[in-house]
Amino acid sequence: MKHQARKRFGQHFLTDESVLTHLMGEIRPKNGQHMVEIGPGLGAMTQHLLKHMDHLEVIEIDRDLAEKLRTGRWRDKLTVHEVDVLKFDFNKLPTPLRVVGNLPYNISSPILFALLEVADRIEDQHFMLQKEVIDRMVAEPSSSDYGRLSVMLQAWYDIEHLFDVPPESFDPPPRVMSAIVRMTPKPKTVRQQIPASTFQQIVTAAFSQRRKMLRNTWAGLVQPELAEQAGIALTDRAEAVACEQYIRLAQLMEQ
Ligand SMILES: C[S@@+](CC[C@H](N)C(=O)[O-])C[C@H]1O[C@@H](n2cnc3c(N)ncnc32)[C@H](O)[C@@H]1O
């Protein structure tokens, strides 16, 4: 029986074989690697990955789809976790872990932030996302797409926009353009130098009212001398400040 796509789970199934082939060329799955797929759905990516691998972990919230995967023709090669990915404990999977998925667009940012917490365990991530989200992830300072998502993710990952995928490549087609992104965690030595909670606090405050000057959004939070030492002008707005400057400021605040 044909699966009726469920809107609440952001179900848009990839049907375009040329996209899948292109994607596999980018992911280059190899047997013996530890890989987890978020939202395998009807298995479009899954079956391509399994051409190269004997085993794959998958996380699927939809009970019917999880059941199909558990009993279907790839059952011997899959470990199916029937759970909300936002509640899944990635610490229980082996490392180094490769993470892939055509993500449910309605919760893509929470998924990206949840994975940031376990970046130590991750080798790389390849995701299908709304193109607009990827534009924000790779945005440079002073562009209209540059925001909290850009700064938070660029601090932890090298991010590459790989290629675009049009709505016709899916059934049912989403209303927006999609794209594929590769995210590679920066070396541990680099990530360890970021005071995570202070960094998050100043970036969140700065972009909470992005039209205002930093001297207003940071009042009571950031000492003006420290901002100056980090090379940040408090008369600027959040979008003028580079990711490295936010990191530098967070480091100065921790000293
Ligand atoms: C955009 S579809 C992709 C399906 C399939 N990978 C493909 O490319 O055809 C998103 C998938 O994520 C699943 N999903 C949605 N929300 C989820 C959640 N919170 N946790 C785990 N899986 C979820 C959906 O049921 C669906 O299978």
Q: Answer yes or no: is the C-beta of 85 below 6 A from any ligand 1 atom.
A: yes
For ligand 1, the distance from its centroid to the CA atom of residue 25, given in whole angstroms, is 22
The CATH number of 7-186, from 3.40.50.720, 3.40.50.150, 3.40.630.20, 1.10.760.10, is: 3.40.50.150
How many CB atoms are located within 10 Å of the residue 72 CB? 15
102 annotated among ligand-binding-site residues: yes
Measuring from atom 6 of ligand 1, which residue has the nearest CA? 40
Strands 122-130 and 178-185: antiparallel
Check whether the bond before 172 is cis (ω within 30° of 0). yes
Delimit the domains of the chain by residue range.
7-186, 196-254
For ligand 1, the distance from its centroid to the CA atom of residue 169, given in whole angstroms, is 16
Q: Answer yes or no: is the C-beta of 104 below 6 A from any ligand 1 atom.
A: yes
SS3 per-residue string spanning 5-44: CCHHHCCCEECCHHHHHHHHHHHCCCCCCEEEEECCCCCH
Q: Report the atom number in ligand 1 closest to the C-alpha of 14.
A: 9
Nearest Cα neighbor of 38 from 104, 93, 105, 133 is: 104
Q: Answer yes or no: is the C-beta of 185 below 6 A from any ligand 1 atom.
A: no
Using N-to-C axis directions, what is the helix angle for 196-208 and 148-156, rounded to 10°?
Answer: 160
Q: Report the atom number in ligand 1 closest to the C-alpha of 174.
A: 1
Q: 196-254 has which CATH code?
A: 1.10.8.100
Measuring from atom 18 of ligand 1, which residue has the nearest CA? 84
User: DSSP character for 1?
Assistant: -
Per-residue pLDDT of the chain (255 residues; tens, 9 = 90+): 788 999 999 999 999 999 999 999 999 999 999 999 999 999 999 999 999 999 999 999 999 999 999 999 999 999 999 999 999 999 999 999 999 999 999 999 999 999 999 999 999 999 999 999 999 999 999 999 999 999 999 999 999 999 999 999 999 999 999 999 999 999 999 999 999 999 999 999 999 999 999 999 999 999 999 999 999 999 999 999 999 999 999 999 999
